[in-house]
Amino acid sequence: MTKIQTDKTIELVINWHVTEVCNYGCKYCFAKWGRPNELHRSEKEIVKLLDNLADYFIKGTSTLKEELGYESVRLNFAGGEPMMLGDTFVTALTLAKQKGFKTSTITNGHYLINGKLALPNNSLDMIGISFDSQSLDTRNKIGRKDRKGNSFGADDLKLALANLTQSQRGIKTKINTVVNSLNLDEDFSELITDLAPYKWKILHVMPYGNDELLISKTQFDKFVLRHSGLGLPLFPESNSTMTESYLMINPQGCFYQNSSNKAGYKYSESINSCGVNKALSQIEFNPKTFASRYQTVNVDVVEL
């Protein structure tokens, strides 16, 4: 099999959506599985899943390892809001580290400055914080607030990142912004410059949530263009780039994947029941598209 050539060594990223539960109600969110029997409720099942993934992707010689040439595997804990799981999240994070994974999480940030969850020192290699607007009114309209009306703002974001750099040595920080009809005209350049994250990932809102938030590819490209050429660590992802390019596990412990040919998602059998190799064969995953998302990015958008 021909090894994919990229600008730098590929790190394989596996996104485990550990829970559907979230304290926010973002209208564009696709992480809805109908409250499944979430695997994290059993520590034995967590250990089994992590062992299965480590044996296949880290210790084994998988087809993906031969094709991508990756040297490390990062397990990204996503949701819902993974930090809502409290000690269970910390346990899974610690176990993943012990089994040889690099670790990261995607969070709305709320529990980084609220609540009593204490991350063990140096347990995270990367963190992605979802942040869609500097305007409280816009965040409220998107649904980025909890039942008490609390919303994670720009000052909270700055505080959270400052705290993380103290407890997580060498952590890479990433900001995720979902571009939609409500934040389309907002200027993030000053904020991102001040924060200086490792990445600012700009995501085109996917057509799985509220239709009122959808924007066209042209509108998305205009947003990217306005923020280009400013020295920002810009990593835009259109809908086509996101299709079949993520390696994802749902809360029940099954691989799942979006498809360019069908609406919705296709699911594998449980990884703990049938093994990684069989489960992986049951979904579509495009290694070339995956690799393209992790190459050095030079934004080149045709002026509109």
DSSP string for residues in 138-191: HHHHHT-S-TT-----HHHHHHHHHHHHHHSTT-EEEEEEEE-TTTTT---HHH
Structural domains of the chain, with CATH: 11-293 (3.20.20.70)
Q: What is the pLDDT of residue 8?
A: 47
* Predicted confidence band of residue 4 (pLDDT cuts 50, 70, 90): very low
* Predicted confidence band of residue 301 (pLDDT cuts 50, 70, 90): very low
Does residue 266 have a pLDDT over 90? no
> Which carries the bigger pLDDT value, residue 262 or residue 279?
279
The pLDDT of 224-253, averaged and rounded, is 85
* Predicted confidence band of residue 241 (pLDDT cuts 50, 70, 90): low
The pLDDT of 143-171, averaged and rounded, is 96
Q: 10: Cβ–Cβ under 8 A, 6 or more apart, which residues? A: 4, 68, 69, 70, 71, 291, 294
Highest mean pLDDT among 23-37, 246-260, 265-279: 265-279
Does residue 137 have a pLDDT over 70? yes
% of the chain residues with pLDDT over 90: 70
The pLDDT of 136-144, averaged and rounded, is 97
Q: What is the pLDDT of residue 166?
A: 93
Does residue 299 have a pLDDT over 60? no
What's the chain's average pLDDT?
A: 88
The pLDDT of 35-50, averaged and rounded, is 93
Contact 255, 282 (CB under 8 A): yes
Does residue 210 have a pLDDT over 70? no
Token pair in block for residue 95: 């176990």
Beta bridge partners of 106: 128
% of the chain residues with pLDDT over 70: 85
Alpha carbon of 17 to those of 151, 248, 287: distances in Å? 22, 7, 20
| pLDDT tens digits for range 52-87 | 999 999 998 877 888 888 889 999 999 999 999 999
> Which carries the bigger pLDDT value, residue 6 or residue 271?
271
Q: What is the pLDDT of residue 186?
A: 98
| Residue 66 DSSP class | H
